Amino acid sequence: MFDVCETFVSLSGESGWQGLVATFIRFAGCDVGCDWCDTAYARNEQPTRVELEQLVSICRANAVPRVILTGGEPLLQAELPALCRALLEEGLEVQVETSGTRLVDKLDKRVLKVMDIKPPGARAEKGFHWGNLDLLAKTDQVKFVLACREDYEWTLSIIAKVKLEKICPIIFSPVEGRLEKAELAGWMIEDRPAARMQLQLHKQIWPAEPRGR
């Protein structure tokens, strides 16, 4: 059984799938507690208990070739690896969006992982599991959501320390309302990090919609 917050079909707002239509399964529950969390409802609302077969049926009925498993924190769901395998066996592409606070070693290697490493400005209650860097493939992505200059400089130091650009693509994204996108763009132009800046597409298209997009 899974604790589910919502399921819907929309455009992927982030990652290498940005702009592509996907089925979203948003799981309930999170123990990371980021200061700027934009899906707090997934953490606070009463979840719906859903069986694995029901989730596969939803994805099948939507007739969309991609599934994004997000949250909350998807890796809180004990059966997540089994769901990933079931969806892959349906011929679907599967992406898991995770904070990386738990090892992803149980996930099928065909799963695309988007790992969100929290900088200091997130004030996260749970830290990143650095062992996950050894489990990333070149098709995966690491994302840093930045709220200030301190976050940006911390991120540059991490990238240099672990040679992250040799592991997988890197995304920088500004926290809406906390860091101006033009300011982040200027820093990147000056420093030329091995990263791509990305804005959340769904917030550009549906700025008044707080969820289900």
In this structure, the strands spanning 170-174 and 141-146 are: parallel
Name the domain count of the chain: 1
Confidence band, pLDDT 50/70/90 cuts, at residue 212: low
Answer whether residue 152 is part of any domain.
yes
What integer pLDDT is reported at residue 33 of this predicted model?
A: 82
Tell me what the pLDDT averaged over the chain comes to. Answer: 94
- At which residue do the structure tokens 């349906």 appear? 90
Confidence band, pLDDT 50/70/90 cuts, at residue 213: low
- At which residue do the structure tokens 């999170």 appear? 30
Arithmetic mean of pLDDT, 167-175: 97
Answer whether residue 6 is part of any domain.
yes
Confidence band, pLDDT 50/70/90 cuts, at residue 148: very high
Residue 178 corresponds to which tokens in the numbers above?
């906390």
Arithmetic mean of pLDDT, 70-77: 95
Please say whether the beta carbons of 177 and 146 come within 8 A. no
Answer whether residue 135 is part of any domain.
yes
Answer whether residue 35 is part of any domain.
yes
Answer whether residue 118 is part of any domain.
yes
Answer whether residue 212 is part of any domain.
no
Answer whether residue 151 is part of any domain.
yes
What integer pLDDT is reported at residue 202 of this predicted model?
A: 81
Over residues 98-117, the pLDDT tens digits come to: 999 999 999 999 999 999 99
Give me the CATH number covering residue 98.
3.20.20.70
Reported in sequence order, the residue ranges of the chain that DSSP labels E, i.e. its strands, are 2-11, 21-27, 48-50, 66-70, 93-98, 112-116, 141-146, 170-174, 196-197
Please say whether the beta carbons of 5 and 72 come within 8 A. yes
Answer whether residue 211 is part of any domain.
no
What integer pLDDT is reported at residue 140 of this predicted model?
A: 98
Over residues 10-62, the pLDDT tens digits come to: 999 999 999 999 999 999 999 888 878 878 888 788 899 999 999 999 999 99
Note down the domain range covering 111. Answer: 2-205
Q: Out of 38-42, 93-97, 195-199, pick the least confident.
A: 38-42
